[in-house]
A and B are shown apart, each in its own frame.
Chain A
Amino acid sequence: MHPLLTEEVGKKLLLLGNEAIVRGALEAGVAFATTYPGTPASEIGDNFFRIAAESKLYFEYSTNEKVALETAAGAAVSGVRVMCSMKHVGLNVAADPLMTLAYVGVRGGMVIVTADDPSMFSSQNEQDNRFYAKLSNLPMLEPASPQEAKEMTGTAFGISEALELPVLLRTTTRLSHCRGIVTTESLTPPETRGTFEKESSRFVTVPANARVRHRVLLSQGEKARDMACASPFNTITGTGRWGIATSGVAYNYVADAINDLGIQDRVTVLKLGFTSPFPVKLAAGFIRSVDKILVVEELEPILEDNLKVTAQTNGLAVPIAGKGPELFSRLYEYDPGMVREVIAGFFELDYTPPRPVDIKEDPEAVRLPMRPPNLCAGCPHRATYYAVTSVLRETETEAVFPSDIGCYILGLLPPLQTADFVICMGSSVTSAAGISRATDKKVIAFIGDSTFFHSGITGLINAVHNKHNFMLVILDNGTTAMTGYQPHPGVEITPPGWDKPYVSIEAITRACGVEQVAVVNPINLGKTKAAITEALESNRLSVIVAKAPCPLYEASILGKKKKRVFVVGPDCNTDCTECIDTFGCPALYKNTSPDAKTTMIIDQSLCIGCGVCIQFCKKIRPKKV
């Protein structure tokens, strides 16, 4: 049985924030869940995926976040309890349905999880999705710990049903990926069947109806504000004259700093968990009770601005500070030491920060080698990139490489350097159109299989229709590899119990109207290079589907063992290092040992025997067993 399905009440589990959210949803009787995977939200969907296999819950990996949100909305307006989860930038994709779903509302409870990524551990930006609560006028809750994440998820379903509005639950990487003790409460059996009761004056947003619904939304928003003022997740603790206001993960740093600095009896803390609509009355009371206020919140000054507005409207002149020099930054995530130091500075406390060991003081100091992430040994993406760069080198052609979101973005690193422009999911196809129109360069765009389904298809249709001229290489490794091997409509090697139809990427590209389409196995360098050469020479819009499974995924599903490994022969004794200069497989390295007999060496534990390198270097051969 899946551990999150335990019936035991009062059990203490050590859960990831994301797992706690899933448990909270199960305790609230969630019956329907959708997602598009994205770090740091992925484990929410992955747990639902496994749970759906052994319960009545319906779960799907949707093709993108807009699809996930709209599918979930359909179930929610039919009275079913739903959860839709995504990473922060995913909510941009789903922003269109979000804004108007807020107008029509829902009937079954609907919780939308947005997982932000301050410091951009695995993201292209660190936008603050608290703005989406303000923008959409929807309630938002922000847990500070896994236990709170579970509790707030349950509360969010309750708020959603009371107000008939979707509720946003915002986490950050530090919450989604921290583990803490969570106490279980009883599960609620999911009600999987609902009814769609027609009410076109509410659900069909022609302007006349939308005008009415906007009014309804604002009035529900005021009820939500009252709920926020009374919420147990919004607390004022302490009686000191120094005010600290905080929310989300930053609360933990504040709580620890107060203990570390020993200022428990000098501070009053406003901790917000139900952060939007802003609980004005509660905040006004807090402002009145203190002499000065420090606001501790990661990213944008949203709480700070709300407090300043509240102070102004209530005629209060208490100094309020948060972001600024010697205070907090709008950049990156915070840490306990930083928060402690700013609190000490703001309230003029004597404080000596700890003295870290500084390796710059090492008299033997050396430049430490870096360890950037890299495409794995045997990765078929490397083979594709190598084929493309080889053809360009051989034909002395220069090209611009729009790329996309996925493992393959690592092609930007030397020696491949096959990523020149990446902004968001699907942008490879569309930016390629713009770059090829606006310049005289060849344009070769790269997109992954899951990303192609996510948002590559409309761009490809646009390229056909508007006669754009570039080459699109679809890197089809048969899974959503970067986020942990989630399936998508084009998977052929499937997880156990998979019974969904296969959608062919090749057939889609042809149906979009592309005439020059080739499907190649990138592990076969000769054929891949021939297809690339032909596509380049055709001088028209072309698609190459480079299709070979991610070896890690294949091994995890099929339990496939490597058949053979390769070694360099004794003739590898010149100063030729072309393999690492142009291909760069991490299993290949320079032999620096003093009694080296060969120039290069192949790391036998890393080599998976893909056999790409033997196709361009005759000195490499299979290892004799």
Chain B
Amino acid sequence: MDNYRVYLTGVGGQGTLLATTVLAEAAILAGHNAVASEVHGMAQRGGVVESSVMIGDIKSPIISDGEADVLLGFEPVETYRAMRKCSAVSVVVSNAVPIIHYDVAIGRGSYPDVEKLFDFIRCRVKQLVILGAQTLAKQAGALLAANIVMLGALARSGALPIPKEAFEGTIRTRTKARFVETNLRAFELGFATL
């Protein structure tokens, strides 16, 4: 089979690490080999959290610039900042809801126009999918399920050889029991966005 490299980026607290594990487990459930890498520790204190999942016959746990097949961005500026990981053949799935940077909050910077960021990305990659993950997560019953909404949209994009059922199976076994129903709803709402 082909190999796939998925780069995930977001802000501490958005649940990107759970999404990373669910994605890797879903790939394994679908019969593939998977390797993932995470950043722990100081990097998480409100900073950018980056992780990656490799699916197929790949040993390296990280992704070099220009080599991501899929970019899953949990925050628009972070999606844009991570564009160096993409090339013309990448698929980008991004949340459209900003999390304001502290620089911006204290008036030392300004948050860029999200539409312009997406316009730049759209004409440089194979496919760009945008969704309002928090809105859908609220609809599913928990704002914190935005990470699972993102996985729903990723599943629907068809960019990876992982069937919907493998994601759902992993959500059932790998997320907290009392959140499973909410998470499955969140996944479904993300899946229905395209």
Contact = CB atoms under 8 A, between A and B. Distances in A.
B105 A589 contact: yes
Interface of A: 12, 14, 16, 39-40, 42-43, 121-122, 144-145, 173-174, 177-181, 249, 251-253, 255-256, 259, 335-338, 340, 353-359, 362, 364, 366-376, 407, 410, 482-484, 577, 580, 584, 586, 588-590, 592, 603
13 contacts: A14-B34, A121-B39, A121-B42, A144-B59, A177-B37, A177-B40, A181-B34, A259-B57, A357-B66, A357-B88, A373-B45, A580-B106, A589-B104
B66 to A, nearest CB: 3
Contacts of A355: 66, 87-88
B178 to A, nearest CB: 14
B46 A373 contact: yes
A14 to B, nearest CB: 6
Interface in B17-55: 20-21, 24-25, 28, 33-48
B128 to A, nearest CB: 11
A548 to B, nearest CB: 18
Contact of B28 (A12, A353, A580, A584): A12
B24 A367 contact: no
A99 B63 CA distance: 38
B176 interface: no
Interface in B157-182: none
Contacts of B150: none
Given A356-B65, A356-B86, A357-B125, A179 B81 contact: no
B25 A357 contact: no
Contact of A14 (B25, B100, B119): B25
A620 B103 CA distance: 22
Interface in B104-118: 104-107, 109-113, 116
A588 B107 CA distance: 11
A179 B42 contact: no
Contact of B61 (A178, A357, A372, A375): A178
A174 B37 contact: yes
Interface of B: 11-12, 20-21, 24-25, 28, 33-48, 57-67, 77-78, 80-81, 83-88, 90, 100-107, 109-113, 116, 119-121, 124-125
B33 to A, nearest CB: 7
Nearest to B57: A259
A369 B88 contact: no
Contact of B45 (A359, A376, A584): A376
A145 B54 CA distance: 13
A574 to B, nearest CB: 15
B43 A373 contact: yes
A356 B66 contact: yes
B70 to A, nearest CB: 14
Nearest to B62: A335
Nearest to A360: B84
Contacts of B124: 357
Contacts of A177: 37-40
A122 B40 CA distance: 8
A590 B104 CA distance: 8
A370 B40 contact: no
B64 A335 contact: yes
B39 A252 contact: no
B33 A181 contact: yes
Given A174-B61, A586-B105, 11 more contacts: A145-B35, A179-B35, A179-B36, A252-B61, A336-B60, A337-B65, A356-B66, A357-B121, A371-B11, A371-B48, A371-B78
